[in-house]
Structure 1
């Protein structure tokens, strides 16, 4: 009775090589993940450590020296009171809601018109928006500041909201991409049923843009919440009109900076974003994932 003979050394060699390759790839994958997470979390960890120290302890120890009292809440109380964060959170909330709502409405309407209607100048308008995206915002601040001053909108919260409501080019192109993937037959069917163009936008286009709107709101909301330069430039009454980003600079001055209070303020400003993320993480993940896929 004859039996087949298998070359075991060759199979063993292939198996060992495959296992080594798999081990190396797995090691590199997890090492890179741990490395990136370490450098992302390092500033946050140092903030927690510094925020728990008193001013004397901070000056006499290194950054990574553990505090003697982790439950030192006095720095958080002082940071909240001294920087007037109650007013800052109120102003930031008003700006965030108004800007996100208005930019979403204007961006989706403009994208609907540029995507669905072909008229002379359509391509020119798209090109101008692309050129505007390439220009640095700080280079145009002289002209924008002059216009805001002539309109009497400097040192006004609503003036800052109007200025921040400029069309976000990146969000507009996200909306255009989604609208172009929506079949035109849906528009035609709605129009045949007697719907106007605005009714088509409100009842057909807008509900189908939810994933794109979520993606746009994340980008715009994070940018507005963290905006410092324009808020500091146009909201000159810091006690009455200051935002969260401006309030953190209340502890800096010519005599030095109180970094323990600054770190406590940073942690306080992170809490609203963290709470919103934990509440709406399912919607955020689904919106971003849908925004990354084009059918």
Structure 2
């Protein structure tokens, strides 16, 4: 009988060790590539030719020449403006369409409300590649091809994840608030605007981060629907480094670091909203 109590601390210690080991390995998978990008971006062309190890330390830790080349030759400022334009209008539309859809599905009882959610889910399950020919024709017929509005219209399509994030928060808002507002003479739109929407701030922050990162990193849609170099986004401008800087990995890495920096800053600033947005609604 004494062998069983002795085995319990051993198992707990082993379980704790495996838990921390998995966390360390998962962190290494994320951190090591980022570290390689930063270290490579600080090295010179001669250092890259002498040692191709991406984790080698640079000779000068304050070598910003590669960043200057990437920023100027890659037209990163113009790319950042194009990306910001697309992000702002796409996210505004996603927030309003997604929150209104969730509000209507949760607060109103009408025939086919389950069908609405099912259609969003079916649309999310259909591979986007299978509809690209038809989508391309629609965008071309609308006359927005090779403009910033083409990706905005495509990103405006609210995905099922955004709707469910808004739904779980709206379900946690007591319906008594709606009833009190109706007694005061407010209609459904006023209730949504003045009661529901202000309480959805954590959910809005979550949707903005989740979908914003996806839009920021997307390459396919800007590359296909905005082929003009003047309309290059962050991702397509970085892709164009493959031409004159195809073999200069130190410059490519500097461009990648510039692309990573804005999204990293925004994530660190709003990470508490992400965690609360993903957990608070389900815990209430």
TM-score, scaled to structure 2 = 0.92
Q: Any conservation in 2 of the 1:82–1:250 contact (CA below 8 Å)?
A: no
Q: Is 1:167 the counterpart of 2:148 in the alignment?
A: no
The question of whether the paired residues in 1 share the 8 Å contact of 2:206 and 2:273 is answered with no
Rounded Cα–Cα distance in structure 1 between residues aligned with 2:268 and 2:167: 30
Where in structure 1 are there 5+ consecutive unaligned residues? 1-8
In the alignment, which of 243, 251, 273 is matched to residue 261 of structure 1? 251
The answer on whether the counterparts of 2:120 and 2:159 sit within 8 Å (CA) in structure 1 is no
* 1:214 paired residue among 199, 205, 214: 205
**Residue 180 of structure 1: aligned partner:** 171
Match for residue 56 of structure 1 among 26, 32, 46: 46
Counterpart residue number, 1:244: 234
The answer for the alignment partner of 2:69 in structure 1 is 78
CA-to-partner distance for each residue in 1:111-136, whole Å, 9 max, x for gaps?
21122222233222222111101011
CA distance in 1, matches of 2:101, 2:9: 55
Unpaired segments ≥5 residues, structure 2: none
Matched with 1:195 is 186
2:130 corresponds to 1:139: yes
Give the number of aligned pairs: 283
- Give me the whole-angstrom Cα distance separating, in 1, the residues matched to 2:273 and 2:119: 33
Post-superposition Cα deviations, 1:137-156, rounded to whole Å, max 9, x if no partner, equal: 22211111101111111110
In structure 2, the residue matched to 1:44 is 34
CA pair 144-82 structure 1, distance change in 2 beyond 3 A: same
Report if aligned partners of 2:245, 2:251 keep a CA contact under 8 Å in 1. no
Distance change >3 Å, CA 255–CA 189, structure 1 → 2: closer
Task: Measure how far apart 1:253 and its partner are.
Answer: 3.1
Which of 78, 90, 110 matches 1:119?
110
Report if aligned partners of 1:153, 1:160 keep a CA contact under 8 Å in 2: no
Instruction: For 2:271 and 2:175, locate their aligned partners in 1 and report how far apart those are by CA, in whole Å.
Output: 32
**1: distance between equivalents of 2:279 and 2:11?**
31
Q: Indicate the SS of the match to 1:249.
A: helix
Deviates further, 116-125 or 69-78 = 116-125
Aligned residue number for residue 19 of structure 2: 29
The CA distance in 1 between the partners of 2:116 and 2:7, in whole Å, is 57
Conserved in 2, the CA contact under 8 Å of 1:214 and 1:288? no
CA RMSD of the aligned region, Å? 2.0
Task: Indicate yes or no: 2:264 matched with 1:279.
Answer: no
Please say which structure displays the higher CA radius of gyration.
1
My pick for the range that moved more, 218-227 or 249-258, is 249-258
What is the Cα deviation at residue 100 of structure 1? 1.0
CA contact (8 A) 1:154 1:160 kept: no
SS in structure 2 at match of 1:181: coil
Instruction: Indicate if the aligned counterparts of 2:94 and 2:158 stay in contact, CA closer than 8 A.
Output: yes
Name the structure 2 match of 1:157: 148
Contact map agreement 1:111 1:173 (CA 8 A) in 2: yes
Deviation at 1:96, TM superposition (A): 1.2
